[in-house]
A and B are shown apart, each in its own frame.
Chain A
Amino acid sequence: MSHAAAPKTTTGIPNGKLGMWIFLASEIMLFGSLISSYIVLAMGSPTFGRPDTALLGKPLATINTFVLITSSVTMVMALASIQRNNVKALLGWMGATSFLGLGFLGIKAFEYHHKIAEGITITSSLFGSFYYTLTGLHGLHMLGGLAFNAYIAIKAMRGAYSADHYERVEYAALYWHFVDLVWVILFPLFYLV
Chain B
Amino acid sequence: MEQQHAAHHPSVKGYLLVFVALGILTGLTVALSYLPISHHVGIALAIAIATTKCALIATFFMHLKTENRGITYTVLVGLFLVIVLIGAMIPDVGIVQK
A21 touches B74 (CB 8 A): yes
Q: Please, how many angstroms separate the alpha-carbon atoms of A179 and B90 in the complex? A: 27
Contacts known (A28-B75, A163-B5); A46 close to B96, Cβ less than 8 A: yes
Contacts known (A24-B75, A193-B42); A188 close to B29, Cβ less than 8 A: yes
A193 touches B43 (CB 8 A): yes
Q: Is A58 an interface residue (CB 8 A)?
A: yes
B49 touches A29 (CB 8 A): no
- Interface residues of B: mostly helix, strand, loop or mixed? helix
* A interface size (C-beta, 8 A): 54
A185 touches B12 (CB 8 A): no
Per-position binary interface string of chain A over residues 101-139, scored 1 when its CB falls under 8 Å from any chain B CB and 0 otherwise: 000000000000000000000000000000000000000
Q: Please, how many angstroms separate the alpha-carbon atoms of A66 and B49 in the complex? A: 15
Number of A-B contacts (CB under 8 A): 137
Q: Is A140 an interface residue (CB 8 A)?
A: no
A58 to chain B minimum Cβ distance, whole angstroms, is 7
Give A182's nearest chain B residue, CB to CB.
Answer: B54
Contacts known (A65-B26, A184-B50, A184-B57); A44 close to B19, Cβ less than 8 A: no
| Contacts of A67-115 to chain B: CB distance below 8 A | 69-70, 72-73, 75-77, 80, 83-84
B33 touches A58 (CB 8 A): yes
Residue numbers in B under 8 Å from A45 (CB-CB): 93, 96
B interface, size bucket: 35 or more
A87 to chain B minimum Cβ distance, whole angstroms, is 16
| Contacts of A18-61 to chain B: CB distance below 8 A | 18, 21-22, 24-26, 28-29, 32-33, 35-37, 39-41, 43-46, 58
B50 touches A188 (CB 8 A): yes
A28 touches B71 (CB 8 A): no
Per-position binary interface string of chain A over residues 136-176, scored 1 when its CB falls under 8 Å from any chain B CB and 0 otherwise: 00000000000000000000000000010000000001100
Give A176's nearest chain B residue, CB to CB.
Answer: B61
Chain B residues in contact with chain A, CB under 8 A? 1, 4-5, 9-10, 12, 15-16, 18-19, 22-23, 26, 29-30, 32-33, 39, 42-43, 46-47, 49-50, 53-54, 57-58, 61-62, 67-68, 70-71, 74-75, 77-79, 81-82, 85-86, 89-90, 92-96
